[in-house]
Amino acid sequence: MNVKQRINKFLSTERWKDSAVFFLRIFAGVMMLTHGIWKINNYEMLFTSFPDPLGIGSNASLILTIGLETVCSVLLIIGLFVRPAAILLAMTMCVATFVNTGTFAENELSFMYMGIYVAIAISGGMRYSLDRVFFKA
């Protein structure tokens, strides 16, 4: 086997794909969890001024956002209900991106998170997730 074939075999294994999705899940989950924790710590400052895109009240919108950002992030990190959690987070980031009236530069981070969560929703938890253990996915 020549060097090119060895490199191709090394790079084309299924475990690399699983490892990449595992890393993306953990990374995005931890990063979003920090946003949720920040919102919890600054709740008193945010609850009156938080945007209300759904018409349910500023406080309810903040609680819903905190719940989604923390619970779904933990689910991504542990690899349980990966697709539903990623879809909910993608929808949250979609609202944060398109309902916010700022410039694209101000909404860029939420747009990037949305893209990451869509990719995770498409791929699922793959090999290194509890979904595979419990649901044989």
| 39/55 Cα distance (integer angstroms) | 20
Residues counted in the chain = 137
- What distance in Å separates the CA atoms of residue 90 and residue 33, rounded to the nearest whole number? 14
Packing angle of the helix pair 104-123, 82-98 (nearest 10 deg): 160
> What digits encode the pLDDT tens for the residues 35-71?
999 999 999 999 888 888 888 988 999 999 999 999 9
Domain spans of the chain? Answer: 15-135
The one-character DSSP state at 133 is H
Q: How would DSSP label each residue in 71-103?
A: IIHHHHHHTSSHHHHHHHHHHHHHHHHHTS-S-
pTM of the model: 0.86
